[in-house]
A and B are shown apart, each in its own frame.
Chain A
Amino acid sequence: MLFNSWEYILFLAVVVGIYFTAPFRWRVPFLLVASYFFYMQWSWKLAFLIGFVTLFNFEAGRRIAQTEDRFTRRAWLWFACVVSLGILGFFKYFNFFNDSFRTIFEMANMTYMVPHLDIILPVGISFFTFQALSYPIDVYRGAHGPERSVMRFSTYVVFFPQLIAGPIERATTLLDQFSTHHRFDTQRFAEGARLIIWGLFKKIVIADRLALYVDDIYAHPELHDGSTLLLATYFFTFQIYCDFSAYSDIAIGSARMLGYDLMKNFNLPYFARTITDFWRRWHISLTSWFTSYVYIPLGGSRTSLPKWIRNVWIVFLLSGLWHGAAWTFVVWGGLHAAYYMVQRGWHAILPVPDRPSLLRSAFGLLVTFHAVVLAWVFFRAASIEDAWIVVTRILTDLGGMPDLGSSRFSTMVNVLLIFFLLAVQTGQVRGWFSFYFSESRVPRPLQISGHALLLCGIALLGASSSAFIYFQF
């Protein structure tokens, strides 16, 4: 059941209706059932896997809280990490590492006996594993007390708006909300609906249209010149942003209708002026997860330079691998780690003033944007070889006009849509209006009319629905 489908709109309407009319004590059990129903639309068998991950982490948290003995607490924490990440590792990375080892063995003319397994990747596994695992870690650290209700904890792990592709929530921010008595609030309902409409517009009109061009070009990069590949890469830059941020918006909007607050996952990332700034704005929930549970425990930035370098590389290589079991994602993560190194060196030579000039800000924005664009090549390409073709052709064969695809008109519409997105976001940066529930300078009738027109845009320009890119992670 995709967010961008009539089935989901109907499902959400029914869930909201029943949720607010049901007695309070039945609401969380109802959300749990609804969430499992939502997940089972993909696979009912794999729902047992989520059930296991949920119960295991719940029990680990309980055991950690139960004892003062440091060794036992630590043992349970490690046990939780090994089992949760072991499941994730098996489903997501077994074949990746297995195939890589086979290649190495074959290169050395040695026999490799472990076969390739036909493993189905459970949708959303990276998201719900991280969300469930954060609970025993937070209990161990004392950041959150043990949850007494397995029902509430289960609902926290499988809460349908963010189950498949985040935002990755923490027990400290979401779990306690399942104990709150939410009343139907028309203001929150309307805010949620508006954010869902904006998300649908970004997904169906911008991301899915751009995908048609990008998929065509990236399927055979060797057939295209540098300017065409550059255009496809720019398109992918906006496609992936619109695709993923749209999912987050629909998730946040759906949860808000039900009275729940999810964390903001994107904050105009292409307006970032440094790489650090970019990662504060892109997939915020994942960045914050890695910062809290990996980067800071390793020592973070308050350590020696060599250790800081090590920490950054570990976090970004893990982040790359988290996105997908392929070397392209590892290179993508590695590039971002390298950008951090370059940025630190650059700022050591030319420290950032408190109030940078307009020129310096614009320069920072352009450089950061293009560094991110370059890294997306590896994220999107089917293989390292393909990515290399794209990069080298962009750098060496940029003379001609890009191939505008089978429909020049469609491509021109796509370009206009990107400008529209940037114009809307400029309005957000300037504080003229906000999609994220803060005060807006635009009068209410105009806001409503704007969203009605976005719906017209979806009807007129929407491409055929396709799955969200981040579902595969």
Chain B
Amino acid sequence: MRISDNLKAQKAQLIRLAQGVLLGLIVFFAADRGLDAVLMRGLDRYFGLETEDTVLLVGHSHVVLGIDRVRLERDLGTPVSKYARAGAQLEDRILMARHYGTLHPDGPRAIVFGVDGHMFSPRGLSSNAHRLFYPHMGDEIVDAYLRDHALSWQEYVTRQVVHLARYNDVLLNVARRGLSGDWSSGVGGRFDPERLAREAELGETRPIAIDAAQVAQFDAFLAEADAKGWPVILTFVPTTEAWNALEPDTFTEVLTLLKGFADTYESVQFLDLRDPWSSQYDLFADPIHLNAKGQRLVTEDLATRLAPLLPEGQ
């Protein structure tokens, strides 16, 4: 009798434990999925991924800090999506353009693709750039990319199961800004040429390399865009003249490659914004990033020079 009472009590305890675990799981996954949905909405709004027939700005920190989306939209009089992330390498930027294409099969009105002297040299940028794409891992093309780039299977699987693990502070902040409609991106500060000279002397600047595989990858993307009829405007957001002059030969080689792409593909154009801004050092926060004042002037310039290149809206 006593043994059976004991067993009953243990069974009741186990049921109570199971109920607690079940309740915990329900609350956990409800909060996980609910909050993820809210944050995703913020991200998509911020990057303009919900917008149809848009001028799609794609790039890394040069575009993030260099172009004011709101001003450009106002000056062009057409919707602009700024799908740019600091630390995004060339492969990431191509993925961003393709990702937008999967969301909107008709494609963007035009892709303003941020280019620079270092775009074919992967060294020096974050090896964790892929993590910025985790919130969109539900998308087939992003998922395939993440499977290739995840640092471990645990990293990938954890994010498949727990959606909130897909975010980091950068993405959370972007989502917050998307939800609150805050698209400001200017920074203060002023470029110090002497500091750059010292760093160059010490060999602390990032060297330019032209990686054949990256060039081929970019070529393939441009061919794909051309075939789909997506106009691509390769846009050189200004970096300082001092920076551009660190390795003049390789830098010129990159520019030649970019011009070559524009000559090869009918839908590709090259828009070089360096002149007259690259020599005006008071417009830069550091050797490669425009400050708030530079952002305003370059965005106005971009709007003026971009408008005639854009196809008519649908």
CA–CA, A456 and B25, complex, Å: 11
Contact B173 A190 (CB under 8 A): no
Contact B28 A455 (CB under 8 A): yes
Query: What's the nearest-Cβ distance from chain B to residue A55, in Å?
Result: 39
Chain B residues with Cβ below 8 Å from A444 are 20
Closest to A410 in B: B169
Contact of B31 among A6, A186, A190, A453 (CB under 8 A): A453
Query: Quick one: CB contact mask for B164-184 with A, threshold 8 Å, 1 for yes?
Result: 110101101100100000000
Query: What's the nearest-Cβ distance from chain A to residue B172, in Å?
Result: 7
Contact A452 B20 (CB under 8 A): no
Chain A residues with Cβ below 8 Å from B23 are 445, 448-449, 452
Chain A residues with Cβ below 8 Å from B170 are 407
Q: Which of A219-251 contact B (CB under 8 A)?
A: none
Chain B residues with Cβ below 8 Å from A452 are 23-25, 27-28, 31
Query: What's the nearest-Cβ distance from chain A to residue B133, in Å?
Result: 17
CB contact under 8 A between A456 and B16, given known A407-B170, A448-B23: no
Contact B169 A409 (CB under 8 A): yes
Query: What's the nearest-Cβ distance from chain B to residue A181, in Å?
Result: 14
Is A460 positioned at the interface, with any CB of B under 8 Å from its CB?
yes
Contact B173 A456 (CB under 8 A): no
CB contact under 8 A between A449 and B14, given known A409-B172, A460-B164: no
Closest to A457 in B: B164
Query: What's the nearest-Cβ distance from chain A to residue B156, in Å?
Result: 14
Query: What's the nearest-Cβ distance from chain A to residue B29, in Å?
Result: 9
CA–CA, A410 and B154, complex, Å: 25
Closest to B31 in A: A456
CA–CA, A460 and B28, complex, Å: 12
CA–CA, A186 and B167, complex, Å: 34
CB contact under 8 A between A186 and B14, given known A407-B173, A456-B31, A460-B35: yes
Chain A residues with Cβ below 8 Å from B14 are 186
Contact of B167 among A187, A190, A409, A460 (CB under 8 A): A460
Is B13 positioned at the interface, with any CB of A under 8 Å from its CB?
yes
Is A189 positioned at the interface, with any CB of B under 8 Å from its CB?
yes
Query: What's the nearest-Cβ distance from chain B to residue A192, in Å?
Result: 12
Is A63 positioned at the interface, with any CB of B under 8 Å from its CB?
no
Query: What's the nearest-Cβ distance from chain A to residue B304, in Å?
Result: 33
Contact B172 A448 (CB under 8 A): no
CA–CA, A187 and B24, complex, Å: 15
Query: Quick one: CB contact mask for B114-130 with A, threshold 8 Å, 1 for yes?
Result: 00000000000000000
Q: Could you count the A-B residue pairs with CB atoms below 8 Å apart for me: how many are there?
A: 55
Query: Quick one: CB contact mask for A95-115 with B, threshold 8 Å, 1 for yes?
Result: 000000000000000000000
Chain A residues with Cβ below 8 Å from B27 are 448-449, 452-453
* Interface range, B side: 20 to 34
Chain B residues with Cβ below 8 Å from A189 are 17
Query: What's the nearest-Cβ distance from chain B to residue A462, in Å?
Result: 8
Is B300 positioned at the interface, with any CB of A under 8 Å from its CB?
no
Query: What's the nearest-Cβ distance from chain A to residue B14, in Å?
Result: 6
Chain B residues with Cβ below 8 Å from A453 are 27-28, 31
Is A314 positioned at the interface, with any CB of B under 8 Å from its CB?
no
Contact B13 A187 (CB under 8 A): yes
Contact of A459 among B16, B24, B162, B169 (CB under 8 A): B162
CA–CA, A33 and B151, complex, Å: 33
Is B226 positioned at the interface, with any CB of A under 8 Å from its CB?
no
Q: Which of B1-31 contact A (CB under 8 A)?
A: 13-14, 16-17, 20, 23-25, 27-28, 31
Contact B32 A459 (CB under 8 A): yes
Query: What's the nearest-Cβ distance from chain A to residue B176, in Å?
Result: 8
Which residue, of B20, B24, B154, B170, has the highest number of chain A Cβ atoms within 10 A? B24
Chain B residues with Cβ below 8 Å from A407 are 169-170, 173
CA–CA, A185 and B165, complex, Å: 32
Which residue, of A189, A452, A456, has the highest number of chain B Cβ atoms within 10 A? A456
Query: Quick one: CB contact mask for A182-198 with B, threshold 8 Å, 1 for yes?
Result: 00011101100000000
Is A451 positioned at the interface, with any CB of B under 8 Å from its CB?
yes
Chain B residues with Cβ below 8 Å from A123 are none
Closest to B34 in A: A456
CA–CA, A445 and B162, complex, Å: 22
Closest to A187 in B: B13
CA–CA, A117 and B201, complex, Å: 38
Contact of A460 among B16, B154, B165, B173 (CB under 8 A): B165
Contact of B165 among A413, A451, A459 (CB under 8 A): A459
Contact B164 A456 (CB under 8 A): yes
CA–CA, A459 and B154, complex, Å: 14
Q: Which of A227-285 contact B (CB under 8 A)?
A: none
CB contact under 8 A between A456 and B32, given known A187-B13, A409-B173: yes
Closest to B169 in A: A410
Q: Which of A165-191 contact B (CB under 8 A)?
A: 185-187, 189-190
Which residue, of B16, B165, B169, has the highest number of chain A Cβ atoms within 10 A? B169
Q: List 28 A-B contacts (CB under 8 A).
A: A6-B154, A185-B13, A186-B13, A187-B13, A190-B20, A407-B169, A407-B170, A409-B172, A409-B173, A410-B169, A413-B169, A448-B20, A448-B23, A448-B24, A448-B27, A449-B23, A452-B25, A452-B27, A452-B28, A453-B31, A455-B28, A456-B32, A459-B32, A459-B162, A459-B164, A459-B165, A460-B164, A460-B172
Q: Which 4 A-B pairs have the closest CB atoms?
A: A452-B27, A459-B164, A186-B17, A409-B173
Q: Which residues of B contact A (CB under 8 A)?
A: 13-14, 16-17, 20, 23-25, 27-28, 31-32, 35, 154, 162, 164-165, 167, 169-170, 172-173, 176
Q: Which residues of A contact B (CB under 8 A)?
A: 6, 185-187, 189-190, 407, 409-410, 413, 444-445, 448-449, 451-453, 455-456, 459-460
